[in-house]
Structure 1
């Protein structure tokens, strides 16, 4: 990507962590950092996205518990019945597999990797059996037999040469496995073979009362995708539930709030930089992962050596020369930067208040932030408020 303008700059009238290191000796700079700035949170953006994922995970867990209770309410066969090599004779309504369609709102698949990577751990810790099927496993080349064998390998320690549902039933009857649902996660539904997936649904639906198998399917486009992919007969064997992952815009607002606003780590970005980040986010179709990667890459590649450059330049400034001759210079710097940090915290609070006020009209925090740091608007407002 093209290099953006300098991404970090000192707040007006003060400096950031690197600016302190540029104008003071190392030992003094360390004391100033400890006295003024909070310790930065490493990987804070990952914690923000993980928190958003946890909301979805809790919804999936609640859906699973309700679905399992509903299946058990229809019939709860004993161990002997489950082990019989044929499904229970039930009407069609009892042969529907509870299925959670997780709509990702056309987010880039790379943004969903962490969601579908962490979801299995969350479900397993809640007492579920779990298997994941990829688009490659649900392919015409693999067939429904190969797909089902992949599922068995993730659950059974000894998989028969000829995969059969009765082998899964025997495994489920064991005390350690019984009375716990089996969740099958398919993270990218649109990339699967509709024929193979439909055949798998038809086969497992016959056993759903004996073996409570539920699906969690990720959908990147719209909820109409399953209708375009799977036969109507197979669709009738699914009991759908719609769940939604936070939209890219929602996730971006959460990142901006946590990293650029709430953290208040002693730096701010210029309007030009903020607009670059906003436009980059829009041009890449709301891809949070690409946004974060580009920002980190630019920081490590372009700005890592900036403190030394600033140090060399700053030592020649008159303010630095006078500071060297003043015994109270360090205390003055600490006091001045502390006041500056308080002003920045107050400014951040105002930005968040504006965001809360605009949520009803779906105003994005990133847009508010870009306008708040626009110096032209600040000058214009100051001119309009001048009574003379």
Structure 2
């Protein structure tokens, strides 16, 4: 059985790599890896950790390219590959432009789509934008839905997805974290001088498209936090998006306890998790990853599709206003009992066996369709 895995961003690579690796151990399966090139260098470092060489390496990303341009470029190229390779199944993960383009293309070629990380919802089509609508559209296309949590399953059931096609398996990002802890090369030595054992390490990331108008308020909160607390050290891998970097230059003040660095490889990023006291982010995947290291997360977004983390207490949804972000930061940095509850809360996103469950399903699917 041939299964095509189509990916283009680093988060997609992190989540699909454990599944691809496990499937390669099955002699009756041929995983076909198609790399669209949305995050070429960032994704390549993840695939290298898992010793995965893409079968097709596309170069679809151009400077300042819009999401619709990525999709328009991807569809005909992916279609040509799928027509030539004739896979039995197409696997996509999450909610990126690559995810939607691949699922849309597979639908037109009548190839069943399995959607990994299915059922996440905010039910606001513009938050996060455009991801919320991509994943809802992929749900309508997909033949099988691998949901990380029971809540994700309930979302799909409310949308009239047949329960027999929904499988709660956890999120493969936790599989990837466990693998990287055991197999990844040593992290970048340049990071070590930024990690001060006598200070609380704050890991900061920002990149959301819908946050661009409010990014200044996030950075103003960071400025105030650094000035108010002399026991914090901030490491900020700055996203390569030039729009993000323009906001950083405009609104984030230079400080000797603020380290603005280029994006780091994933092994080094997980190393930062292991030393972090707190994460401040508008990312989606980090909301799942940081709790695996018992690190609380301040989410600088107006809503999150990962409501399980908010309910569990691992995530604090702080919005995008300076005052609400500072309130969350102040509470975590000054109320020890509150911090300890957030750090000790159980991670609802998986136990490291998601890829095993997905491969088991594929084997059963193959046996039923022979």
Whether TM exceeds 0.5 here: the answer is: no
Bigger RCO (CA 8 Å, 6+ sep): 1
Q: Max radius of gyration: which structure?
A: 1
TM-score, structure 2 as length reference: 0.29
TM-score, structure 1 as length reference: 0.28
